[in-house]
Amino acid sequence: MAMATSSSFLSIPLLKTPSFLSPIKHCVSPLSSEFRALALYGGRNGVSTSSAVATEAQVSTQDDKLKDAKMEVTDKPEKVVLPTNESSESLLRIRHTCAHVMAMAVQKLFPDAKVTIGPWIENGFYYDFDMEPLTDKELKRIKKEMDRIIGRNLPLIREEVSRDEAHRRITALNEPYKLEILDSIKEDPITIYHIGDEWWDLCAGPHVEKTGKINRKAVELESIAGAYWRGDEKKPMLQRIYGTAWESEEQLKAYLHFKAEAKRRDHRRLGQVLDLFSLQNDAGGGLVFWHPKGAIVRHVIEDLWKKIHIERGYDLLYTPHVAKANLWQISGHLDYYRENMYDQMNVEDELYQLRPMNCPYHILVYKRKRHSYHEFPIRVAELGTVYRYELSGSLHGLFRVRGFTQDDAHIFCLEDQIKDEIRGVLDLTEELLLQFGFSNYEVNLSTRPEKAVGDDDIWVKATSALRDALDDKGWSYQIDEGGGAFYGPKIDLKIEDALGRKWQCSTIQVDFNLPQRFDITYVDSNSEKKRPIMVHRAVLGSLERFFGVLIEHYAGDFPLWLSPVQAHVLPVTDTQLDYCKEVTNKLKANGIRGELCQGERLPKLIRNSEMQKIPLMAVVGAKEVETGTVTVRSRFGGDLGTMPIDDFVSTIKSAIESKASI
């Protein structure tokens, strides 16, 4: 039975070139960049480059990593804004029908295959089958059979039958999964969709009128994956076939180009190529190892985060990674979040728990002393590492891990301070995200759900405060009625990356629950005890996930200020090594992340720098040693000529300070 998913899908433009990248400079291979750098140096210093480049060309054709660069020079289709299931009902119908056509094709080719479910999804459709494992070669056979079914222009016919009749027909076909699905359907009568008079499926629709409405050239089968029936690892493993379908061949080409670009930017691949991070099987799944280069980027992000928070009146905290299990009983996590928590550990006959959240720790810091209304608002922030259990099958690079560091903060305030504090968080969020080039946001305000804690009056006040803060900020937003947490309303913000993809990032949540559970109070102007309002907020989300987003946003080409290595110093021969060391030391003394590269001929050194996406190269030959200069090439700005070392240093420092490219 093809079930419609209710997710809100995002509009995906073909490709947006970020302002910090030059589309011309980034559509060349590293070899051509080497040639320009060598030609620049050779032209000024009388060095012949032709033989060296020829040698490197031979090497480069054997290097698999250059395939990534070649992906950037392929012909790109014109920009196409792709429709979504929400914006185009015809597209949704096409995808839904494609799932049925694919299931029909599979059962024609593999009569023993048992069908289960086949919904439309964000960029296409899938169907799960109980059958022997498939190969890519068999996918091609299935697609050919689908094309034949589409070409026959068979009608899609809706039929209503009784539950008993549906049960009889399914039993006759020996489809056990369909019987289970039938039992889960509560409405009567049961609806069936036929493709001609040859195949049918339990389904509520909608579909196209005839298979001929599908453009065969706009459909492609993409991949095969394993999936447990009903998502339960104790149930049978099924074969899931993913496909994509569009209204036109042009849309399919645009989607495939987008998909190839997303693959080129995949943070898991770039994390290995650029030696930024790893996930070590020997240590366990979902645990991130930050390598030196990745750790430098994290250090820069953390320093910026701390600076902005201190400037905006936050006090920084560091709290433990474990606590007594009773703390999580008080907070309610053991009752409502236990499946995401690790097993408890016995320490001297007391049970301890790895923390899945930072909130209770910040509350304990608040409770350490008595508070007066004069002290509010109180803002505390922590880059706190938490641990959450995830099934191994759900782990995904830096995006889904078991241990991660949240940029967590909590604000304790009075009721009449909520709006101003929320507005302050929105301003801080914008200030921080703009540093990384994120300026387009999707904002949602989620209101009280059916089951909630707290009086109606405070819910109304808090929701109005969030709404007023957003209006005051001037941001457009959508209302998600009933989508708030049980403990308070919230604002969620998604950022848009260079490919137009949306990433859940920042969240601001008002909490009426934890202050009550932990019985936190303050003394008001009448010397009476009152309960403060608590606001949870995160701007980046988690450092791991945000780093993954950054890698894909920049395609590994970090801007100068954020790049783990900002400049490579390259000697023409070993006779310039001593001078190169002086240059490198001067860069480091001025806070510039410079590295001396040696041990290879200059063309290879340049090529390696390009492959590592180093923003700046300083080439040093005999003339540079004699004149106290360096010949500079920028990855983003091209050839910058020869300049004194002090000028090189001051230019870099100025660009880092302003977060500009050179």
371 in catalytic set: no
Q: Are 102 and 242 in contact (CB under 8 A)?
A: no
DSSP category for residue 44: H
Q: Are 422 and 491 in contact (CB under 8 A)?
A: yes
Which of 203, 359, 413, 597 is catalytic? The answer is 359
Residue ranges with strand state E in 356-515: 378-387, 403-413, 441-446, 478-480, 490-496, 502-511
**Would you give the distance in Å from CA 274 to the centre of its chain?**
18
501 in catalytic set: no
163 in catalytic set: no
What is the spatial distance between Cα 348 and Cα 520, in angstroms, rounded to a whole number? 29
Angle at alpha carbon of residue 331, lines to 383 and 504, rounded to 5°: 45
What is the spatial distance between Cα 247 and Cα 95, in angstroms, rounded to a whole number? 9
Q: What's the Cα-to-Cα distance from 249 to each of 144, 145, 480, rounded to whole Å?
A: 17, 19, 35
Q: Are 513 and 453 in contact (CB under 8 A)?
A: yes
Token pair belonging to 180? 């289970």
What is the spatial distance between Cα 531 and Cα 454, in angstroms, rounded to a whole number? 12
Which residues is 354 bridged to in the sheet? 322
598 in catalytic set: no
What is the spatial distance between Cα 358 and Cα 538, in angstroms, rounded to a whole number? 11
- The per-residue b/e assignment along 87-121, b for 16 or more CB within 10 angstroms, e otherwise, is eeeebbbbbbbbbbbbbbbbbbebeebbbbbbbbb
Which of 293, 388, 568, 635 is catalytic? The answer is 388
What is the spatial distance between Cα 275 and Cα 602, in angstroms, rounded to a whole number? 22
What is the spatial distance between Cα 496 and Cα 437, in angstroms, rounded to a whole number? 10
* Three-class secondary structure of residue 392 per DSSP: helix
Token pair belonging to 642? 């020869």
Which of 410, 448, 604, 607 is catalytic? The answer is 410
Which of 309, 536, 604, 607 is catalytic? The answer is 536
Which of 107, 239, 353, 406 is catalytic? The answer is 406
597 in catalytic set: no
Which of 207, 490, 545, 553 is catalytic? The answer is 490
336 phi and psi angles, rounded to 5 deg: -115, -10
Which of 68, 128, 201, 408 is catalytic? The answer is 408
Angle at alpha carbon of residue 255, lines to 253 and 260, rounded to 5°: 95
What is the spatial distance between Cα 426 and Cα 310, in angstroms, rounded to a whole number? 16
**Overall residue count recorded for the chain in this entry:** 662
With 0-12 / 13-18 / 19 or more C-beta atoms within 10 angstroms meaning exposed / middle / buried, residue 395 is: middle
Q: Are 494 and 504 in contact (CB under 8 A)?
A: yes
With 0-12 / 13-18 / 19 or more C-beta atoms within 10 angstroms meaning exposed / middle / buried, residue 195 is: buried
Strand arrangement of the beta sheet that strand 629-634 belongs to: 594-596, 567-571, 616-620, 629-634, 638-644
362 in catalytic set: no
269 phi and psi angles, rounded to 5 deg: -70, -50
Q: Are 314 and 381 in contact (CB under 8 A)?
A: yes
HEC-encoded secondary structure of 592-640: CCEEECCCCCHHHHHHHHHHCCCCEEEEECHHHHHHCEEEEEECCCEEE
581 in catalytic set: no
How many H helices and E strands in the chain? 21, 28
268 phi and psi angles, rounded to 5 deg: -70, -40
* Residues acting as catalytic residues: 359, 388, 406, 408, 410, 490, 536
